Amino acid sequence: MAGVAEYIKESYIELTEKVTWPTWKELQSSAVLVLVAAMIIAMVIFGMDQIIGYVLNQFYTSLA
């Protein structure tokens, strides 16, 4: 049980004294960057889905 207490104590010390936390401005900037990247990736995947759907639709229509 002493090992668990020591682990929690060391974790707390590391989080409060050794970790370099980003400033609020840096955090906002990173969040905007992640949001923009996620939107771009979503649009690329959506475009690929639309193109593949169109190609398959044309293929199956030509079979009938």
> What would the pLDDT profile of 16-51 be if each residue is shown by its tens digit?
999 999 999 999 999 999 999 999 999 999 999 999
Split at pLDDT 50, 70, 90, the class of 64 is confident
Give the residue among 24, 7, 26, 23 at the shortest CA–CA distance from 15.
7
Q: What are the b/e assignments for 12-47, b being 16+ CB within 10 Å?
A: eeeeeeeeeeeeeeeeeeeeeeeeeeeeeeeeeeee
* Cα gap 16→62, rounded to integer Å: 66
Residue 47, token pair as written in the block: 């475009």
pLDDT at 60: 95
Q: What per-residue confidence (pLDDT) applies to 1?
A: 74
pLDDT of residue 44: 98
The mean pLDDT of 47-63, rounded to a whole number, is 97
